[in-house]
Amino acid sequence: MLQGFKEFITRGNVLDLAVAVVIGGAFSAVIDGLVKGFIMPLIGWLVGAPNFSAIAFSVPNWRGGSTEFPIGLFIQGLIMFLLIAAAVYFFVIVPINRLKSLHKSSEEVVEEAAAEEVVLLTEIRDLLRVQSGTTANPNSN
């Protein structure tokens, strides 16, 4: 039983998941710092301090009082989510995609060239067969 647990815990995917959770937590702190320390002050400087947490509405309840629904908390959370998603996209995803496109491996370039050559050579072979009058199947070798 302990051997099975040891095998489970040392599997690559479990360790990868654990590392991803730890790195994700650290990365979350970086993105949160970027949004709270740069983007929110920039928005506050441009249009004033956006604070929607005070937005609420009240509904009378059956006891004669009222129940308050602080909808502003949801709006504030939604705006923070959108800002964090934008920060991740524009400050992480876009630069990484640009780096990947700049460092396209030479193997991919060679494979693409080889595929184009095969198509061209196949077309040349088929044209030569047609010109020589051979009626054999062009797909046979």
> Do 113 and 67 reside in the same domain of the chain?
no
Return the pLDDT at 17.
82
Number of domains in the chain: 2
Whether 141 and 118 have beta carbons less than 8 Å apart is answered as: no
Q: Are 36 and 50 in contact (CB under 8 A)?
A: no
Is residue 56 within 8 Å of residue 70, measured between CB atoms?
yes
What is d(CA 53, CA 69) in angstroms, rounded to the nearest whole number?
A: 11
CATH number of domain containing 17: 1.10.1200
pLDDT beneath 70: ranges in the chain: 12, 49, 104-113, 134-141
Q: Are residues 97 and 112 in the same domain?
A: no
pLDDT of 64 reads 83
For the chain, helix (H) and strand (E) counts, in that order, are 6, 2
Provide the CA 18 distance to its chain's centre, in angstroms: 19
Residues 79 and 135 in one domain: no
Beta bridge partners of 67: 59
Q: How far apart are alpha carbons 126 and 136 in whole angstroms?
A: 10
pLDDT of 18 reads 82
Domain housing 55: 2-103
